[in-house]
Structure 1
């Protein structure tokens, strides 16, 4: 776009209205500046427009108004003269520079100054640099950093931490005399990597192959092809993901070598050095030996908070490559999926569980599980009442009674699924008491348990603490007496304190959503594994994601912030300790935007990798008007299109089926819509004769709600909706697998 749009020019350089009598303008012989100002006064307003590029949008620019430096200079010159005006401006700039230079040289942690911009986010940091270095070194030594991403310079490491999850490489660094005192790399001592060419082999090319046991997704390669901040398209990212995993059996049309698209590898051979705890036990920190000078002078501490005591971390777990592991499953890296649900069971967690059975390597096609495969487990955590309610003494029994009587939930209590799907009762008191970092302090902040981005939802407390029986949710046979500082009110009250689930946009269960922000970090830190929001559908096997030992969430669309709808953290990690202690000093705020602030202030963002949303939320950028010039398949301009596919593209769901839905992505996040049924015409669990009783209950409930008579009539395809939506097709595909009418995504038939 040309500059003339923003700065309109005249043919002779003058404004349109020169003077009233039409004569030439007159100036004194002593002021050439006045003539210049007169000729160009249209550009000398107090504000001038400037344009900035918009990330991800190449054809548009953002227009802003900024203070005009020439206008300020002209005012000063006119008031006090050219020489004195220029001198005044120079002195002002020098004074600002001097003030900040003195602060950088003599400022201390006790006299930490406020942020330069008073309207910016306040600092959240409560750990010194030395402790942040320890966190980094612990995570690297534990094998939780299988990446070549650089360590931030602000951490000031004097020598590289040894990294057992990174293969050894020949040094390309310059001689020591040419290197600075700070290093930003880790020293790989791990096994070699072999990148796999995954394809179905003839004649079995109808379905994709399962991931190889012990395979790992190289997130450095994934970032190279998928990072939105590097102008990578979701469409191209999904192609790399599906081709690299062999998800296109018999339909590959690309020709030529695709080594650059291989992102799944296995580790082979011995590590170069098995003594990986030495760097942590005898760390060498830059600036640590400078006497009384504190190495945190460049870090801005949270206002009004004291520095946390120095970290005392246990020795990191020893990293063991899969090839050297004596068992298929690693105790330090459990393959657990966590999901949190409040209120009556509906079709939303129902489809999440069905898609888990349809995609993950559970061995349900075998008479006995393969001992060489680590089967993942799904723990569905149930909060049966309102988020702020008091649990009763029979909560566990009541939960299972409700699950058995609920047609959407009862199929998953079948003995065939008992080893892979387990229901757990959520108890906030027991869970927080089991987190060492907060167990002694969280009760002092019980009024701010529902803190979302600094906004606290007030919950009235009981006048007296009540002793109730609250099962732990870990051992179904064990019950502990715990005190719970929650409120008790009539469940019939439809206010924010007593809502159980979101039944419509007008009755959104905000407290449960805020509670779930905390729940995911509690579960991952206590048990390990991956947390997913309940509005998530599995689209493929996640084995290679578990193989990658690092922690991750994903990107908040166009923003460089986290979305923790998918969260992976290691059990009892140093990163978890940092997050819980930092959250404790910041009002127990676990909102993803606040988590982004915690890690950014501490320079720990690479330890909680922000993966591209293409992996888990491939429609998000399109719904916010990004990358619409080359969208992925399907093309959603709003999340509601998943449930109500526009007529112009409504032929795609039936014609393409599961393979046409964001092929290559690991999951799909449909962003709430709890009140929208996946299948409006058949809004009941359609799982065949084995689960017919539950289907009849659901049908009867639908008939009663609609006021129609429940009669056994023959179903006709003509009565179905003509154009099926994407949500309907995905639901019916998973149900057909349970009924035994088709194999799962990988060609495996369910054996009962």
Structure 2
């Protein structure tokens, strides 16, 4: 055999260049090297020993220890027997001192975050106040879910839930029961899950949802939750089949009871099933002892803040199922879509409004004087911020707003009398809106310097600019007479944004390009969505949203929700549903007030997480509203949905290899099953570059003429197919589809023709 088999070279250990034998002892090639090694090891305060790693042959773990030779140099000579004992005692003393110091500074509700805690806590409410918030929401019917209540809330009694049907609870021996209650006691009406589908021969279009039906979002979460490795493609199939949207391409799937997620309530709330001896009301939450609080978990209060006083909540609402309401519309749950817009009206809110008319049950297919009395028609409130976000309102702002809308070709069609009951333009006034929030009205003015805060990014408005704005406002107020020509000119200037300076971030009015992004309006909209939902109730949507189906069953689910921020367990509030004057809203506004009035979705995620209220603001999968997001971030590309977008720009500029799909499949092939599509900004990219004007037919020819002048399109010239783009992009196909419905050339997605 070769000699190397009998005399192996010493292996390297953990990348060290010092040769060692298999037992970890060093091997020196000379006496000089040995002396140098001893001198280096004796001079260091710490040395290391190596220990074998079980199950990993040939590898050893290096552990740093205090160098005994260094201690001897310092005059410490413990001896061979006492040395290790003294060393162990010293280590134990250090550990004990560390824990004693932490216990000394800590308290029952921790004031100091641990090194691995992450962001500083935002919590300002005590446990009993969090219990009151939970009780209010559950008793008001805003928790129609069987998802568990966090143990940290510390319920010792089971709350009654009028929005959940009765369910026989499993009998658990007392010794095995958890110390805290995590479920609710359903006393609500029975749920009947619906088989929704078109019946032959009327299968050309899907049926409208049943009025008053609701989506069981617990079932939706089972099939769509990204954290459970559910694919967007599979989620969309469940959504469209469960809603009967597969009216034409019916592929045999067998029995699909597990995919039924839309239900109707039958019966009334049975308050007799409330077996508690006390009628649930505010202030009856159990107060836990110190030992019980430690047993659940400690609450981490915001550093430097005092506990918030007991929240002033109104009496819980009386939950009434849809079939017991005297009218289809419930005043406590108004069906209002909110949208916030700053800057000149463009094709972006234009398409959002068209998609609303194309998909929602607004009754345009019925005679105007004969509406369906069984249907609650939703309304669309478009909130217009007339000037830059940092500017003060003009006393004539409302009149100027309507003048500018009438002069704007993208906005003028929606002032038609046919839409007056379903589309409303509202003037946004920051002062008025914040004064309308009871939780803010007495304190928000003290935070003027940090009013424009989102995600910790604060934009200050210089005092001299604010003073100049006030002087301009006073000067404008003194002018009582204004000619019609001047009014029209001002309206056109406001409509085009010509009076603003895009180089000044505080004076930008809308985002005209990536380099002139209107950050101030974005920050203001982060706050506006919570203000509008808390004051008026309803659902807020970002202006870069397109409706894809009827939202009837989402209105029927009376809880609050937003949706997931792609792969992260955070909120994206581009879609936000909240109940009017709710306990959850009170919590959010009081918490935001003590945390810089920050309403960025990432910050709101921290608010609910620190308070264990995430289940009250359900984080729905983004497949329902933002189906392309995961693909754009390199997730699920092995099984993408249809269409397949690797970037959000693919919506506007569809790649050539996929460009046959838009014209061939049309609206029916665009993320079918999702409730909406969020195209994430791109305000400066037109939907239809070849026909960048509202093409709504003879009724709106005047506004079309005005738009053609703006893009220098020749009026009256017969258009040729050669003038158009050969392969139409998805954005173009959707725009022309919605416009065809208003022109009367095709029905909406449910086969209904508009009646003028």
* TM range, smaller chain: 0.7 to 0.9
How far residue 496 of structure 1 moved from its aligned partner, in angstroms, is: 0.5
CA distance in 1, matches of 2:241, 2:428: 40
Q: Would the aligned equivalents of 1:108 and 1:297 in 2 still touch at CA under 8 Å?
A: no
- State the match for 1:199 in structure 2: 197
Compared with structure 1, are the counterparts of its residues 729 and 96 closer, same or farther at alpha carbon in structure 2 (3 Å cutoff)? Answer: farther
Aligned residues: 685
How far residue 171 of structure 1 moved from its aligned partner, in angstroms, is: 1.5
Structure 1 residue corresponding to 2:732, chosen from 717, 728, 732: 728
Alignment of 1:242-641 (within 5 A): 242-273=240-271, 280-281=280-281, 284-288=284-288, 298-367=298-367, 368-461=370-463, 462-463=466-467, 466=470, 491-492=500-501, 494-641=503-650
* Aligned partner of residue 281 in structure 1, secondary structure: coil
* Aligned partner of residue 577 in structure 2, secondary structure: strand
How far residue 326 of structure 1 moved from its aligned partner, in angstroms, is: 1.1
How far residue 494 of structure 1 moved from its aligned partner, in angstroms, is: 2.8
Q: Would the aligned equivalents of 1:128 and 1:296 in 2 still touch at CA under 8 Å?
A: no
Compared with structure 1, are the counterparts of its residues 89 and 673 closer, same or farther at alpha carbon in structure 2 (3 Å cutoff)? Answer: farther
Structure 1 residue corresponding to 2:711, chosen from 702, 708, 717: 702
- State the match for 1:479 in structure 2: none
CA distance in 2, matches of 1:130, 1:563: 29
How far residue 631 of structure 1 moved from its aligned partner, in angstroms, is: 0.5
Unaligned 5+ runs, structure 2 = 1-7, 30-46, 50-58, 72-79, 478-497
Q: Would the aligned equivalents of 2:565 and 2:622 in 1 still touch at CA under 8 Å?
A: yes
How far residue 285 of structure 1 moved from its aligned partner, in angstroms, is: 3.1
How far residue 33 of structure 1 moved from its aligned partner, in angstroms, is: 4.1
Q: Would the aligned equivalents of 1:242 and 1:663 in 2 still touch at CA under 8 Å?
A: yes
Structure 2 residue corresponding to 1:751, chosen from 745, 749, 755: 755
- State the match for 1:49 in structure 2: none
Alignment of 1:130-279 (within 5 A): 130-273=128-271
After superposing the two structures, state which structure 1 stretch, 437-446 or 171-180, moved more. Answer: 171-180
Q: Would the aligned equivalents of 2:391 and 2:469 in 1 still touch at CA under 8 Å?
A: no
Compared with structure 1, are the counterparts of its residues 102 and 379 closer, same or farther at alpha carbon in structure 2 (3 Å cutoff)? Answer: same
- Provide Cα deviations, 1:238-273, integer angstroms capped at 9, x if missing partner: 000000000010311132100110000011112221
Compared with structure 1, are the counterparts of its residues 721 and 493 closer, same or farther at alpha carbon in structure 2 (3 Å cutoff)? Answer: closer
Q: Would the aligned equivalents of 1:240 and 1:261 in 2 still touch at CA under 8 Å?
A: yes
Q: What's the TM-score, normalizing by structure 1? A: 0.85
How far residue 365 of structure 1 moved from its aligned partner, in angstroms, is: 0.4
How far residue 717 of structure 1 moved from its aligned partner, in angstroms, is: 1.5
CA distance in 2, matches of 1:183, 1:79: 58
How far residue 662 of structure 1 moved from its aligned partner, in angstroms, is: 0.5
Q: Would the aligned equivalents of 2:265 and 2:322 in 1 still touch at CA under 8 Å?
A: yes
Compared with structure 1, are the counterparts of its residues 297 and 179 closer, same or farther at alpha carbon in structure 2 (3 Å cutoff)? Answer: closer
Compared with structure 1, are the counterparts of its residues 363 and 292 closer, same or farther at alpha carbon in structure 2 (3 Å cutoff)? Answer: closer
Q: Would the aligned equivalents of 2:132 and 2:282 in 1 still touch at CA under 8 Å?
A: no
- Provide Cα deviations, 1:652-681, integer angstroms capped at 9, x if missing partner: 000000011101000000000000000000
* Aligned partner of residue 421 in structure 2, secondary structure: coil
CA distance in 2, matches of 1:18, 1:661: 56
CA distance in 2, matches of 1:366, 1:126: 52
- Provide Cα deviations, 1:16-43, integer angstroms capped at 9, x if missing partner: 99999xxx9787xxx94426999xxxxx
Matched, 1:718 2:709: no
Q: Would the aligned equivalents of 1:644 and 1:725 in 2 still touch at CA under 8 Å?
A: yes
How far residue 691 of structure 1 moved from its aligned partner, in angstroms, is: 0.4
The RMSD of aligned alpha carbons is 3.3
- State the match for 2:493 in structure 1: none
- Provide Cα deviations, 1:412-454, integer angstroms capped at 9, x if missing partner: 0001000000000000000000100000000000111110111
* Aligned partner of residue 630 in structure 1, secondary structure: coil
CA distance in 2, matches of 1:423, 1:618: 29
Matched, 1:741 2:750: no
CA distance in 2, matches of 1:457, 1:606: 32
Alignment of 1:15-34 (within 5 A): 15=12, 32-34=23-25
After superposing the two structures, state which structure 1 stretch, 655-664 or 459-468, moved more. Answer: 459-468
